[in-house]
Amino acid sequence: MAGKLRLALVQMDVHAGDPEDNFARLEQLLEEAVAAEPKPDVIVVPEMWNTGYALDRIQELADPAGVRTKAFVSDFCRRHRVNVMAGSIAEKRESGDVTNTAYGFDREGHEIAAYSKIHLFKLMDEHLHLEAGGQLGRFELEGVQAGVMICYDIRFPELARRLALDGAKVLFVPAEWPHPRLHHWRTLLQARAIENQMFVVACNRSGVSGDTHFFGHSMVVDPWGEIVAEAGEEETIVRAEIDLALTDEVRGRIPVFADRRPQLYEQHSVD
């Protein structure tokens, strides 16, 4: 199992409705991310980076079966011997449904994770254009148990808890989270890290689409809730190194998992 992981979070300015431009820009940013010394072990990309929230044209713009995205990311990973959490994209299924799906690829270019956002965000009309996923985002990265949740998903503490109970020590969060909810973003990410005593690696987009201002602030939070690295609002690459041993250390210090009383608060109540 990897003890330490070097991370690079690509806080990209996504151009809504322009996949060609976004593929070209992401390629430049990925090349920039691996050119640095020391080279990252894992690169993380924001939510819906291929199309942005051009939801009224999403049927025409979404990547059919994710084929283009998977070939592009897999090839990059293999050439550079790096893991990529390829944010999420608009993926068009054979059924015609479009999902907001995140992928992970390892250093050999193998797909190690695929997760479709399970909570669609009504404030940005996702429920009108996208189909929700029905499975959790558990996977293994370099021998480490990990999880992935997408943007609005972080408002659901039960989901992060489930992933932590299943062994996740790192949670990846690709996002397109805009103003005026910066304080929600920062507080929720820190809360998910503290309550589950795990690393949270959250990559938001920057830039403006229509009237919506995306604030960036991609960040890495450690299992003690400390912010290890945080970006400003501009397009940038945030770098950080994390030591996975800290998860066990914090869990040993305050034994939250051993002290849980699920029989009292996980029983079904009448809503």
Q: Which residues bind ligand LYUYDEPV (CB under 6 A)?
A: 47, 121, 124, 151-152, 155, 176-178, 181, 184
Nearest distance from residue 120's CB to ligand LYUYDEPV, in Å? Answer: 8
- Nearest approach, Cβ of 48 to ligand LYUYDEPV (angstroms)? 7
What is the pairing mode between strands 219-221 and 63-64? unpaired
Catalytic residue among 70, 92, 117, 169: 117
Instruction: Give the nearest distance from C-beta 253 to ligand LYUYDEPV in angstroms.
Output: 31
Q: Which of 91, 92, 126, 151 is catalytic?
A: 151
Return the CA Rg of the chain.
18
| CB contact at 8 A, 78 and 206 | no
Q: How many CA atoms lie within 13 A of 84 on its CB side?
A: 31
Which CB atom, from 196 or from 209, has the smaller least distance to ligand LYUYDEPV? 209
Question: In the complex with ligand LYUYDEPV, which residue's Cβ is closer, 103 or 152?
Answer: 152
Whose Cβ is closer to ligand LYUYDEPV: residue 72's or residue 121's? 121
Q: List the beta bridge partners of residue 213.
A: 208
Phi, psi at 77, each rounded to 5° = -60, -45
CB of 117 to ligand LYUYDEPV, least distance (A): 7
127 versus 155: smaller Cβ distance to ligand LYUYDEPV: 155
231 residue type, one letter: A
Is 117 one of the catalytic residues? yes
- Cα distance between residue 200 and residue 229, in whole Å: 11
Residue 47 annotated as catalytic: yes
Measured from the CB of residue 15, what is the shortest distance to ligand LYUYDEPV in angstroms?
Answer: 16
Look up residue 79 and give its two tokens: 């050439």
Burial (0-12, 13-18, 19+ Cβ within 10 Å), 164: buried
Structure tokens at 2: 């990897």
Q: Which is nearer to ligand LYUYDEPV, 141 or 151 (CB)?
A: 151
Closest CA to 198 of 211, 185, 189: 189
The single residue of 47, 91, 126, 176 carrying the catalytic annotation is 47
Q: Annotated active-site positions, please?
A: 47, 117, 151
